[in-house]
Amino acid sequence: MSRYLDLSLICPHRLKSIMDTVDGLTDTSPQHIAFSHYACTNTRCPTGHPSRFRGTPGSWDRSRLASNLVVSEEGSVIELPGSVEAETVRTARISGAFTSGLCEWDIIVESPGICRGMAASLLGLVGETFDKFHTHIKHFSPILCMESFNSSCYLLGMDPTPDYGTHLYSGDIVTFHLDMNERTCSLSINGKKYGTAWLNLPNKVYAAVTLFPKAKYRFRSHSTK
């Protein structure tokens, strides 16, 4: 089977999901060994990988853009350049609200920000009334975000959950699985599902990120049902 597979076209962080679904792969099979070797030597999606940017690009909301933020690549990429000593914090949301059905999207960590000398990422959802674009997502109710800081990753929200997810690095992909019929949202990181993150969501939510200096994120929408 391996001679029919071009592993260079498979994002390494998706290999585990593929392997888990193929009954014929055992730990000692040549295919399993080949997949494992590729995944271990390429733990994150390489820069310029042909499958890296599949999906529908979304657009960050320029009408609510805080100062110092830079939007590029037709609105799909947002970043906060500048000195890490400045301790600047900004929040941005996507332009379109999610109000019904099943919705999925990725936030790709092009580069985490720097907070107090350590890598920091803050990703989540905001409601229609959110207007604190010069501060953190977590400073406005309802708090619906996942924070990756230092070597830890945890949820903030109605029921704060420690040890949810995994620390985010450059190249990591956080997938949001939003069910507006049930008003719930769960998260996956590099294809690994971490379960329900938030319940009882507002009737209108936006994807959002808080950016610390040097942070850069890409929004990519999946199909909506």
What is the mean pLDDT of the segment spanning 145-169? 84
What is the mean pLDDT of the segment spanning 105-120? 93
CB 180 within 8 Å of CB 120? no
Alpha carbon distance 58, 36 (integer Å): 33
Under 8 Å CB-to-CB from 47, ≥6 apart: which residues?
Answer: 171
What is the mean pLDDT of the segment spanning 48-67? 70
CATH class of 56-221: mainly beta
DSSP 9: G
- For the chain, report the end-to-end CA distance as a whole number of angstroms: 34
Q: With bands split at pLDDT 50, 70 and 90, how would you rate the model's confidence at 215?
A: very high
**DSSP three-state, residue 65:** coil
Under 8 Å CB-to-CB from 197, ≥6 apart: which residues?
Answer: 144, 146, 155, 157, 161, 164, 185, 186, 187
CB 71 within 8 Å of CB 189? no
Average pLDDT over the chain, rounded to an integer: 82
Q: What predicted TM-score, i.e. pTM, was given to this entire model?
A: 0.76
**Residue-level pLDDT at 148:** 94
What is the mean pLDDT of the segment spanning 17-36? 61
Beta bridge partners of 79: 70, 216
Cα 75 to Cα 12, 68, 95, 118, 144, distances in angstroms: 27, 15, 10, 27, 23
Q: What are the residue boundaries of the structural domains of the chain, listed by start?
A: 2-41, 56-221
CA angle (151 as vertex; 150, 153 as ends), nearest 5: 95
Q: What are phi and psi of 138, to 5 degrees?
A: -75, 0
What is the mean pLDDT of the segment spanning 1-29? 59
